[in-house]
């Protein structure tokens, strides 16, 4: 039985994480921590947990997690780097759902996250928690940087194509649309119903913090220099991400050859579904840990459009974190997720 604690248990990702953990047969929930909700019962913040996992939310202190094998950090970026060094010193294994340890280059972090990195000495220690690509490293890691939701939706369909050299590594255009839960639970006028309903808008064009994560991860996985454009959009839905990636083919290929590449890399991946005929749809991945991948070839122009969908709170956050936990502790990676 794995004893786990959650820091940031009252946010969207924290609540989704707990929904999975309470039904996970190999987990015992130890401590739950929150900031503004400390002192409240979990069921007061999320009534779904009444009579199932209700307990007091506490203020965090490192000496309160001494009985935990693993600590999940589900806090906004900028918070985990203040907590992780002490947790690692205490011998705890950590999965950070925020962005503080996803980039190996502290200067990139400071450029895109607009703050200094106070735990940069731990960046080289972190393992990027993309199970389908970094399974062996995840098994022995003490610090997992859980991938971002947008990066997961973009990296998974593009990495095999880049690694096999069938698409140009320059000029990739990625357009992603996300539900409003991706912005977190804190109140914001921009995220209110009246502002987002019946509208779609781009944001952080050219400056989004996930740009270097997508680019550098694709470069590491494919051993190729990558140049791309990433534009995120806000959808008037609660959850889900739809990503369309526009690429240029290096050679003439057909649908079966593309499909064979995905088969080569993801046939054994339990949460990756791919098709040459089915166009992905958010409703088919909502509330699951699946990523669905589809594609269309325009031979006349030598273009390949790759489409993917995920649930941003599950495969893009809590579900992928549990998948990583399962791998770290020698469980089947689907445990508690199917």
* Residue located via tokens 């992905």: 280
Q: How many CA atoms lie within 13 A of 337 on its CB side?
A: 26
- 233: β partners: 177, 202
Do 36 and 208 contact (CB within 8 A), yes or no?
A: no
The DSSP bridge pattern shows strands 93-96 and 172-178 to be unpaired
Q: How far is CA 122 from the centre of its chain?
A: 20
The DSSP bridge pattern shows strands 228-234 and 201-202 to be antiparallel
Instruction: List the end-to-end C-alpha distance of the chain, in Å, as a whole number.
Output: 19
Choosing from 34, 108, 123, 149, the catalytic residue is 149
- The answer to whether 149 is a known catalytic residue is yes
CA dist., res. 84 & res. 76, Å (int):
14
Do 91 and 65 contact (CB within 8 A), yes or no?
A: no
Do 285 and 240 contact (CB within 8 A), yes or no?
A: yes
Q: Which two structure tokens, joined as six digits, stand for 260?
A: 């064979």
Q: Provide the annotated active-site residues.
A: 149
């Amino acid at each position: 039985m794995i004893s786990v604690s959650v820091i940031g248990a009252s946010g969207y990702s924290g609540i989704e994480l707990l929904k999975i953990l309470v039904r996970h047969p190999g987990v015992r929930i130890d401590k739950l921590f929150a900031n503004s909700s400390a002192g409240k019962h979990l069921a007061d913040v999320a009534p779904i947990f009444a009579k199932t996992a209700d307990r007091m939310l506490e203020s965090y202190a490192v000496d309160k997690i001494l009985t935990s094998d693993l600590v999940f950090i589900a806090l906004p970026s900028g918070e985990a780097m203040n907590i992780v060094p002490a947790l690692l010193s205490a011998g705890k294994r950590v999965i950070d759902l925020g962005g503080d340890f996803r980039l190996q280059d502290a200067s990139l972090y400071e450029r895109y996250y607009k703050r200094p990195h106070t735990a940069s000495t731990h960046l080289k220690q972190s393992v990027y928690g993309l199970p389908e690509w970094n399974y062996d490293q995840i098994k022995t890691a003490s610090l997992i940087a859980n991938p971002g939701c947008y990066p997961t939706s973009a990296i998974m369909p593009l990495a095999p194509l880049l690694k096999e050299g069938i698409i140009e590594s320059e000029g990739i255009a990625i357009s992603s649309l996300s539900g409003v839960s991706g912005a977190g639970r804190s109140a914001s006028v921009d995220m209110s119903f009246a502002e987002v309903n019946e509208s779609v808008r781009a944001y952080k064009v050219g400056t989004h913090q996930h740009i270097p994560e997508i680019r550098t991860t694709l470069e590491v996985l494919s051993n190729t220099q990558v140049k791309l454009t990433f534009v995120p959009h806000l959808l008037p839905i609660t959850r889900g991400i739809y990503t369309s990636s526009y690429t240029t083919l290096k050679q003439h290929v057909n649908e079966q050859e593309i499909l064979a590449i995905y088969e080569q890399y993801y046939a054994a991946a339990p949460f990756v579904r791919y098709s040459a005929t089915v166009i992905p749809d958010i409703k088919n991945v909502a509330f699951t840990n699946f990523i669905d991948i589809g594609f269309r070839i325009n031979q006349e122009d030598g273009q390949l459009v790759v489409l993917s969908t995920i649930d941003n709170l599950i495969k893009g956050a809590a579900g992928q974190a549990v998948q990583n936990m399962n791998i770290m502790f020698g469980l089947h990676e689907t445990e508690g997720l199917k």
